[in-house]
């Protein structure tokens, strides 16, 4: 049986999800004006995480500093990142995808693969089915996606990157010469800028050049393993399966690069509490608990230092995590070095209930857990700013919409 794979990719996900929320409130649609997800406009800090098509017309680029983007487009509307909103919308569109396919693999927060092999009796026209899926996501959730269709994951993914937004594209083997091979070699999945430069020095400038090149020549330019893989991709070859049970996260982490150096323990504690609360909330949303807590600091020398501690019992309680973080921080910091970055990471994750006795009072722990979940529910419904812990507010550097630092989300798989 011939394989049939869909790749569903949210168009400018972070911006689209924020725009959909604002439109539901009767506000302007960020997708129709020069706008971006990024840092503080007044402080001109942070980087651009996502941009609208009108912003792209001004030359605004994902990953560039906010200050640079504002020079290109002074009227740029900036919205702060809200990772709880992104997780909520990610789950919602993937739930719709699961209603179409027996196997769905989450590839990232805003894209997934659907194995549609053997569904011909239900969806005799794959293109029509892709349009139906795309339109259902748009009409029910308020944001658009692209759907790529192909005989394997690499071709489906490449197809979804063709013209955007709100489009369906196919890329079958008989279409390689027309649709894939004329593209610049840097457009191929896994070919980054440095790899593209190496290939171009070897006169491999298009995906077609790569497909027709001798495998040994490609490997000599970029390395044996990567060379073999991208040569296969250029020829449309990929036999990797769609994994309906993807590898679960092994760790959750947030770090903050601070606008102003932290010089007092009280300041650091408040920021660490906000970080612990943010990371624990994401972990709770996945139904997970952690056995290991780590704290990272960075001083003016730009060298990171970390300490971690194994726990006797896995936990998802913010208060417990915070107490361990404070102890680790005290072991790390000399009390004199100005700090430029603070980070909290939870690892050794489990999704099973642990029956061991806890060092914390059982009644207190249960009350803390109920409080955490109540706060999670309020934030999910009304936004991350609606409720926060008093100690984090006092710092003026809470990890929410009004923080004065750049958030770096680090969802780790290893």
Q: Which residues are catalytic?
A: 111
Spatial distance between the Cα atoms of 148 and 160, rounded to a whole number of angstroms: 4
Taking alpha carbons only, the member of 37, 91, 82, 43 closest to residue 60 is 37
> Would you give the DSSP letter of residue 115?
E
Spatial distance between the Cα atoms of 306 and 50, rounded to a whole number of angstroms: 30
Taking alpha carbons only, the member of 7, 18, 25 closest to residue 164 is 7
Whether the CB-CB separation of 144 and 134 falls below 8 Å is answered with: yes
Spatial distance between the Cα atoms of 345 and 282, rounded to a whole number of angstroms: 12
DSSP-H helix ranges across 252-402: 265-285, 318-332, 362-382, 390-395
Strand order in the sheet with 289-299: 304-315, 289-299, 339-350, 251-262, 405-412
Quick one: angle between helices 215-222 and 193-201, nearest 10? 120
| Residue 147 Cα distances to 70, 130, 132, angstroms | 32, 6, 10
List, as own/partner pairs, every contact residues 368-376 make where C-beta atoms lie below 8 angstroms and the sequence separation is at least 24, other chains included.
368/317, 368/318, 368/319, 368/320, 369/316, 369/317, 372/280, 372/281, 372/284, 372/316, 372/317, 372/318, 373/284, 375/281, 376/281, 376/284, 376/285
Token digits for 69?
């983007």
Whether the CB-CB separation of 351 and 248 falls below 8 Å is answered with: yes
Spatial distance between the Cα atoms of 277 and 280, rounded to a whole number of angstroms: 5
Spatial distance between the Cα atoms of 326 and 320, rounded to a whole number of angstroms: 10
| Other CB atoms within 10 Å distance of the CB of residue 114 | 28
């Amino acid at each position: 049986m011939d394989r049939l794979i869909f790749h569903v990719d949210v168009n400018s996900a972070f911006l689209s999800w924020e725009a959909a929320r604002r439109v539901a409130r009767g506000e302007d649609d960020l997708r129709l004006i020069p706008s971006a997800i990024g840092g503080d406009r007044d402080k001109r800090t942070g980087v651009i995480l996502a941009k609208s098509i009108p912003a792209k017309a001004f030359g605004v680029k994902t990953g560039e500093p906010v200050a640079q983007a504002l020079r290109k487009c002074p009227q740029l509307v900036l919205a702060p990142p809200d990772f709880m909103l992104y997780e909520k919308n990610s789950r919602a569109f993937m739930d719709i995808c699961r209603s179409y396919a027996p196997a769905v693999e989450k590839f990232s927060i805003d894209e997934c693969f659907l194995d549609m092999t053997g569904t011909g009796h239900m969806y005799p026209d794959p293109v029509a089915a892709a349009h139906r899926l795309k339109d259902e996501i748009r009409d029910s959730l308020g944001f658009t996606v692209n759907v790529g269709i192909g005989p394997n994951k690499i071709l489906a993914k490449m197809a979804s990157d063709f013209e955007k937004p709100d489009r369906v594209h196919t890329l079958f083997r008989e279409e390689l010469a027309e649709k894939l091979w004329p593209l610049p070699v840097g457009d191929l999945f896994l070919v980054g800028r440095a790899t593209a430069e190496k290939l171009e020095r070897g006169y491999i400038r298009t995906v077609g050049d790569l497909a027709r090149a001798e495998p040994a020549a490609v490997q000599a330019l970029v390395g044996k393993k990567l060379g073999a893989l991208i040569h296969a991709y250029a020829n449309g070859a990929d036999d990797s399966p769609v994994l309906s049970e993807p590898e679960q996260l092994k760790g959750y982490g947030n770090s903050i690069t601070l606008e102003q150096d932290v010089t007092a323990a009280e300041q650091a504690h408040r920021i660490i509490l906000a970080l612990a609360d943010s990371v624990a909330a994401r972990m709770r949303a996945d139904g997970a608990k952690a056995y290991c807590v780590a704290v990272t600091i960075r001083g003016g020398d730009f060298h990171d230092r970390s300490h971690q501690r194994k726990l006797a019992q896995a936990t998802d309680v913010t208060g417990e995590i915070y107490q361990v973080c404070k102890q680790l921080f005290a072991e790390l910091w000399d009390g004199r070095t100005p700090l430029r970055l603070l980070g909290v990471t939870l690892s050794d994750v489990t999704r099973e209930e642990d029956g061991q006795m806890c060092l914390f009072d059982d009644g207190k722990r249960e009350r803390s857990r109920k409080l955490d979940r109540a706060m999670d529910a309020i934030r999910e419904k009304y936004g991350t700013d609606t409720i926060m812990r008093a100690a984090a507010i006092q710092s003026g550097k809470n990890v929410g919409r009004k923080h004065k630092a750049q958030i770096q989300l680090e969802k780790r798989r290893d």
